[in-house]
Structure 1
Amino acid sequence: MQRREGVVVASVAAVVLAAAAVVSLRWKHRKCESWKEFVRHWGMMCTETSQKHLNFNRGRAGVGVSEGVIGAIGNTPLIRIRSLSEATGCEIYGKCEFLNPGGSVKDRVAVQIIEEALQSGALCVGGVVTEGSAGSTAVSLAMVALAYGCRCHVVIPDDAAIEKTQILESMGATVERVRPVSITHKNHFVNVARRRALEARAANSAPEAQLYAISKQNPHLEEKVDHHVKAFTSEVHEFHAAIHSKSGLPCEIIATRNNSCDSRPAEEEFLISIQKEIIACLIAGVTDSSHVKNTRSSGEKLHVISEEQANAGMSLAEAQPTELHVRDSDSSDHLNSKWQGRGGYFADQFENLANFRAHYEGTGPEIWVQTGGKVDAFVAAAGTGGTIAGVSRYLKEQNPQVKCFLIDPPGSGLYNKVTRGVMYTREEAEGKRMKNPFDTITEGIGINRITENFKKAQLDGAFRGTDKEAVEMARYLMRNDGLFLGSSSSMNCVGAVRVAQMLGPGHTIVTILCDGGARHLSKFHNADYLAAQGLTPIAKSLEFIQPRNPAHAV
């Protein structure tokens, strides 16, 4: 009897609470012009958010229970940063992306990239995901790849914090450290990662594996291949257009069958076939790939036939083609044996628009819901540009009056691009700028090129930030709020204060707390390292940030 009464009481209480919530919501959205609009707002408040990018292979084990580590990514808290809010008179909120399972905002990107690759067939279970990353993306990819049954190979600059390498290796990822060079250099960490994916994919096909092994024996072959492949760009577009006209499918999803994986993007299939032909040409000593009409492979031998022989209708036996032997041991030493036969996929976080979509479909909507649509400004630094592009575009679509700003660290050219329309100042023109200057202590933000992701950003202006400000901000937030943040998060908070100083009291400003400080112990949070760079923090308040108006976007 008591049990039944308890159930009745609980049911009545639930009804009362629901009614109170409806009344409260109706009051909050009293300007709703129709019941339909009210219901829309009710749904908006009651759902977790419109994170479309978390749908693939994911379900809920029960109410309040996430499906594995993937289900725990996203829906991060939005917190009021008390010290900054009280000091500026604005409401300054930080989106706690460091509370994602992998410890950073890049968890969202890793999920989006891998899910889209699996869905399209560009990646298959058991394959390897490669990436060139100096920041947190590598850690996120290593974690998410394992959750989907894949492997991860990371190429990282050797000047990155050593703890990131230690974390990655502990997570089972293969880590390759390379010397920092310009993005235009073939050995830039991003370009090396791209090659590793092609090598892993090549190991999936005997002819391709042979050709890559041969290229390893010819030191100058790789550059020549890259040069000739560029000449086929127009043919790639014509190839896509032809398939599109016949199939009616969008170019992005056109794919062809692959022996061990469901499918391979048509453009990649085409480029690899071109590479095979060009490599064969160059091995045969022909400098113009158009002179070779036919290449054929047979067993462990690659046969190259010249144009004249092919036109004459000669068979392989008659032509006595160039014969190249390839041993199994010639395959790249960088390939883990577990990857072979399973293919590879280059995550390409800088240019892959899955990065942008992760934030346009996830982070942006979450911020809008968590603030109740009451946000005056958003500010963040940019590396790949995915976060600032996705969030700024979404917020401005909801309310064009929301102001969005970039905070740019030393050495980055984005400030100039946003405010002047050019990447470099006159003093930094080509031929005058150092190739590898020591630019900033911050990691994962700042860049000297425009990525496909950043192109989608909708910005009202930009601020410059300094290493000194970022270091001081990190200590200030630790001392006053108990927030232990990384370098990019600290720079974002510098940006939030600058926006508050510009707008004045009474405004709501949101920024991203990208990652925590645990991955920055060897540099950003190392007293000896900071002292050597003249960056020892000394400020007791926010006096280290002098009011400065932003330069408006052009």
Structure 2
Amino acid sequence: MWLNNVLETIGNTPLIKLNKITKDIPATVLAKVDYFNPGNSIKDRMALKMVEVAEQEGKLKPGGTIIEGTSGNTGMGLALAACVKGYKCIFVTTDKQSKEKADILKAVGAEVIVCPTNVLPEDPRSYYSVAKRLGKEVPNSMYMNQYDNLANRQAHYESTGPEIWAQTEGKITHLVCTAGTGGTITGTAMYLKEKNPNIKVWAVDVYGSLLTNYFKTGNIDMSFVHPYISEGFGEDFVPQNYDMSVIDEFVQVTDKDGAVMARKIAKEEGLFCGYSAGSCIQGLMQLKASLTKDDVVVCIFHDHGSRYVGKIYNDQWMMERGFLEVKTFKDIVSGRAGKKLITVEPTNTVAEAVELMKKYDIEQIPVLHNHELVGSVSEGGLFQKIFSNPDIKYATVASVMEAAPAIVDFLTPVEKLGSLITKENGAVLAKDDSGNYHIVTKYDVIQSLAK
């Protein structure tokens, strides 16, 4: 039997057991994988609910415009609802969010306005302020305000909570969820605690957010607020969707740990998740000491990794922020204690090049002219030529040199170097910050990967 529209596919997402990444945790750990929703995130649930409630209350009228401040996922859910129901959308986001998120919103017909991240919520440039202003200025429009709109948490009370309870057959003992607008964790927790008040609810926050301190003290202390890279959770104010009485613990994780863990989930569990999923599991790891073999833990995996291919799943982006500890060209040559690269000029003789190979026990020598790479000579290439013509040892290097090795970035990962070194060209070169050449051979790569 067919469905009437895409909105009918929202919800009933799978609960999947984690096996490798949680092998050191005695409890059963299950992931509520909500990227199976049509908009690839859990936000589809509350986006549709907010629209339905707005319609019921007469606040959203036919042909109207939906306005929202969003990190991307809520916007996608609202855009799907707008497509089906005939509304227009204007979404306001921050320059911290991945480009992929903005592009996806535009693809489904939304207008996207990008605002600066590092401003206070009340600043007129903030995405909160801009969204509120547009809600007043645009005719026949409604500012959804997912932060203070209680339809947000109601959606999870009515769908996410009941699904988890049924899927675990009531055996759930812990709920772990990143904390952002408060809708997912509060709504889900409210339902589950009605079923079993002993269920523990753990909120995962990020350093730079004030939510953890507010949970512990009841005070809004802006000294805890500073810029962070993590997306989709953490806040610099307390949304009205929160009911802290249903949350038992807050734990903060670093930007780096969340990003690294997300990549680990993808590689070890085959679940291509977003930033918040990595942070959720990292938070669980930090609290795992209190778990037992009889516990059943459910972790919320909010969205899909496709939202972050230019960020946490991009090696260069990760390395630039010190998040990815991978071996690079620089790491290989750094252990050479400043040894100078052995080179020859095109005017040197083949015999001189061979003598250098013997002296320094090397197989390949770059050929430089006026400090620029013009070719190379290798042990294998010279052997064939000398064997067929012994007198070639008196010839110049220019007459026998081979193609120059590839020149790469000094921070190129070792794994990529392997694909650049071929049978015909057994090395690659790179310049350091001082403009000096360094060489890495096939043997160097093998040795590096074997360590």
Provide the secondary structure at the position in 1 that maps to 2:76.
helix
Q: Contact between 1:155 and 1:175, CA under 8 Å: does it hold in 2?
A: yes
The Cα shift of 1:383 comes to 0.9
Partners of 1:486 and 1:109 in 2: CA distance: 18
Report the secondary structure of 2:219's partner residue: coil
Structure 1 position 449 matched with structure 2 position 237 = yes
Deviation at 1:415, TM superposition (A): 1.1
CA distance in 2, matches of 1:102, 1:398: 29
Q: Secondary structure at the match of 2:192?
A: helix
Shift of the 505–420 alpha-carbon distance from structure 1 to 2, 3 Å rule, reads farther
1:116-135 to structure 2, matched below 5 A, reads 116-135=53-72
More helix by percentage = 1
1:187 is the counterpart of 2:125: yes
- Residue 190 of structure 1: SS of its match in structure 2? helix
Contact 1:393 1:456 in 2 (8 A): no
Q: The residue matched to 1:367 in structure 2 has which SS?
A: helix
Distance 1:88 1:380 in 2: 17
SS at match of 1:529: helix
Instruction: Decide which of 261, 270, 277 is 1:473's aligned counterpart.
Output: 261
Residue deviations 1:287-324 (CA, integer Å, cap 9, x gap): xxxxxxxxxxxxxxxxxxxxxxxxxxxxxxxxxxxxxx
Paired residues of 2:26 and 2:291 also in contact (CA < 8 A): no
SS of the counterpart of 1:152? strand
* Offset from partner CA, 1:220-242 (integer Å, 9 cap, x none): xxxxxxxxxxxxxxxxxxxxxxx
Distance in 2, Cα, partners of 1:183 & 1:418 = 20
Please state how far the C-alpha of 1:537 moved relative to its aligned partner. Answer: 4.7
Match of 1:79 among 16, 40, 47: 16
Match of 2:47 among 110, 120, 133: 110
Gaps of 5+ in 1: 1-61, 202-342, 540-554
* Corresponding position: 1:138 with 2:75: yes
Q: Residue 345 of structure 1 aligns to a residue in which SS? A: strand
- CA gap of 1:456–1:352, structure 2 versus 1, over 3 A, is farther
Alpha-carbon spacing, 1:151–1:488, altered in 2? closer, same or farther (3 Å): same
Paired letter, 2:7: I
Return the letter of the residue paired with 2:231: E
Cα displacement (A) at 1:103: 0.4
Contact conserved, 1:388 with 1:457, CA < 8 A, in 2?
no
Alignment partners' CA distance in 2, 1:457 and 1:118:
30
Letter in 1 for 2:136: L
503, 508, 525: which one aligns with 2:313: 525
User: How far apart are residue 456 of structure 1 and its match?
Assistant: 5.8
Match of 2:173 in 1: 376
Rounded Cα–Cα distance in structure 1 between residues aligned with 2:280 and 2:49: 23
- The 5 Å alignment of 1:256-275 reads none
Determine the structure 2 residue equivalent to 1:438: 227
Give 1:394's match in structure 2, choosing from 175, 191, 205.
Answer: 191
The CA distance in 2 between the partners of 1:72 and 1:161, in whole Å, is 26
SS at match of 2:247: coil
- The answer to whether the Cα contact below 8 Å between 2:204 and 2:253 also exists between their aligned partners in 1 is yes
Residue 407 in structure 1 maps to residue 204 in structure 2: yes
> Which one of 416, 435, 441 corresponds to residue 213 of structure 2?
416
CA gap of 1:120–1:456, structure 2 versus 1, over 3 A, is farther
Structure 2 CA distance for aligned equivalents of residues 505 and 78 of structure 1:
19
Instruction: Kindly report which structure 2 residues correspond to 1:78-97, keeping only aligned pairs within 5 A, or say none.
Output: 78-97=15-34
- In 2, Cα distance between equivalents of 1:199 and 1:468: 40
- 1:103-141 CA distance string (max 9 Å, x none): 000000110000111111100121100001123111111
Q: Is the 8 A contact 2:263 2:313 kept in 1?
A: no
- Whole-angstrom distance in 2 between the partners of 1:505 and 1:497: 15
Counterpart in the other structure of 1:460: 248
Q: Quickly say closer, same or farther: Cα 1:166–1:516, change in 2 above 3 A.
A: same
1:230 — aligned with what?
none
Counterpart of 2:246 in structure 1: which amino acid?
Q
CA contact (8 A) 1:496 1:509 kept: no
Other-structure match for 2:110: 173
Amino acid of the residue matched to residue 121 of structure 2?
A: I
Q: How does 1:190-201 map to 2 (within 5 A)?
A: 190-201=128-139
Deviation at 1:397, TM superposition (A): 0.8
Greater RCO (Cα-Cα under 8 Å, separation 6 or more): 1
Distance 1:537 1:128, change over 3 A: farther
What is the aligned-residue RMSD (CA, Å)?
1.8
Relative to 1, partners in 2 of residues 1:182 and 1:157: Cα closer, same or farther, differing over 3 Å? same
Q: In 1, Cα distance between the equivalents of 2:193 and 2:160?
A: 14
CA distance in 2, matches of 1:420, 1:500: 24
Give the distance between the partners of 1:359 and 1:197, measured in 2 at CA. Answer: 25
User: Match of 2:296?
Assistant: 508
CA distance in 1, matches of 2:20, 2:326: 17
For residue 85 of structure 1, report the CA deviation from its aligned partner. 4.1
State the shift of 1:457 in Å: 5.5
CA distance, structure 1, for counterparts of residue 316 and residue 136 of structure 2 = 41
Could you tell me how far apart the structure 2 residues matched to 1:527 and 1:438 are? 22
CA distance in 1: counterparts of 2:30 and 2:164, whole angstroms = 10
Tell me the number of residue pairs that the alignment of Structure 1 and Structure 2 aligns: 326
Query: How far 1:66 moved relative to its partner?
Result: 2.9
1:407 deviates by 1.1
Task: Give the Cα–Cα distance (whole angstroms) in 2 for the partners of residues 529 and 472 of structure 1.
Answer: 12
- Cα distance in 1, alignment partners of residues 291 and 166 from structure 2: 23
Report the Cα offset of residue 538 of structure 1.
Answer: 6.0
Percentage of identical aligned residues? 35
Residue 528 of structure 1 and its aligned partner are, at CA, apart by 1.2
Deviations, residues 180-227 of structure 1 (Å, cap 9, x unaligned): 3210112211221122122222xxxxxxxxxxxxxxxxxxxxxxxxxx
Structure 2, unaligned runs of 5 or more: 328-451
Contact 2:263 2:312 in 1 (8 A): no
2:376 aligned residue: none
**2:280 maps to 1:492:** yes
Q: Offset of 1:495 from its aligned partner? A: 2.3
Tell me how far apart the structure 1 counterparts of residues 209 and 191 of structure 2 sit (CA, whole Å). Answer: 25
CA distance in structure 2 between the aligned counterparts of 1:170 and 1:537, rounded to whole angstroms? 35
Relative to structure 1, the CA distance from residue 476 to residue 159 in structure 2 (aligned partners, 3 Å threshold; closer, same or farther) is closer
The amino acid of 1:507's aligned partner reads D
CA distance in 2, matches of 1:457, 1:393: 9
Q: Partner of 1:87: helix, strand, or coil?
A: coil
Report which of the two structures shows the higher radius of gyration computed on alpha carbons. Answer: 2
Q: 1:415 and 1:505 mapped to 2: Cα distance? A: 28
Structure 1, residues 458-484: CA drift from partner, whole Å, max 9, x if none? Answer: 111111211222122112212211111
Distance 1:173 1:113 in 2: 17
Q: TM-score, normalised on structure 2?
A: 0.69
